[in-house]
Homo-oligomer: A and B are copies of this chain.
Amino acid sequence: MDTQPGLPMFDLPLLEETPIARADATRNRARILAAAERLFAARGAACVSMDEVAEAAGVGKGTLFRRFGSRAALALALLSEHESCFQESFIRGEPPLGPGACPTDRMSAFGEARLDLLDEHAEVLAAAEVGPARFSSPPYAVHRLHLTLLLREADPDCDAEYIAEVLLASLGSDVFMYLREGRGLSLEQLKSGWRQLVQRVVPAAAVS
């Protein structure tokens, strides 16, 4: 379902699955997601093996990996609802996150919202953003495009592509967990740091 006609859009490609035909396939998919969610919530994503997920779902290991391809992809699927919601907010939502506010404010709001997401799902996100696959995930591409456009709008002279990547790197789940747990920073401190960073990277912001 399209949300709004007329908007150009990057119709969030997000994570479309191949159209599943057979009934047992969809059923098993649902079982796996349910089992994974339960186990991850109960014991922490890092302490749950794929074998356990398969067994809890009453499904063979082969089935699990055929449906999701990898542990990271399973975690990504688990987060798809939250991620969709996040994307909806900064693409078509209310200001300052959505359109209407000035680019700088939107970037600040973007980071704060992402930090909230991290705060709530840090473990699952960490499982999803492991390895180089992190940079080729659909959510990453959407976030990158979003930041790039905002940066270009805020300051046409800046190297928007590069700066977008740098900013996103600082919002990665690995950095987040390290700063929270390793350095003992609070969520508020991170948000404050992010706001300051945005203010400094996009100077002045003399934008209509």
Contacts and interface: CB of A to CB of B under 8 A. Distances in A.
Contacts of A25: none
Contacts of A161: 183
A158 interface: yes
Contact of A162 (B158, B193, B202): B193
Nearest to A201: B200
Nearest to A144: B183
Interface string A181-208: 0110100011011001100111100000
Q: What is the count of identical protomers in the complex?
A: 2
A179 B200 contact: no
A163 interface: yes
Contact of A170 (B159, B165, B185): B165
Nearest to A195: B159
A172 interface: yes
A164 to B, nearest CB: 11
Given A135-B178, A175-B169, A158 B196 contact: yes
10 contacts: A132-B178, A134-B174, A159-B193, A162-B196, A163-B197, A165-B170, A165-B183, A166-B170, A170-B170, A201-B201
Given A158-B200, A163-B197, A166-B193, 9 more contacts: A135-B182, A162-B196, A163-B200, A165-B170, A165-B183, A166-B170, A166-B175, A166-B197, A200-B200
Interface of A: 132, 134-136, 158-159, 161-163, 165-166, 169-170, 172, 174-175, 177-179, 182-183, 185, 189-190, 192-193, 196-197, 200-203
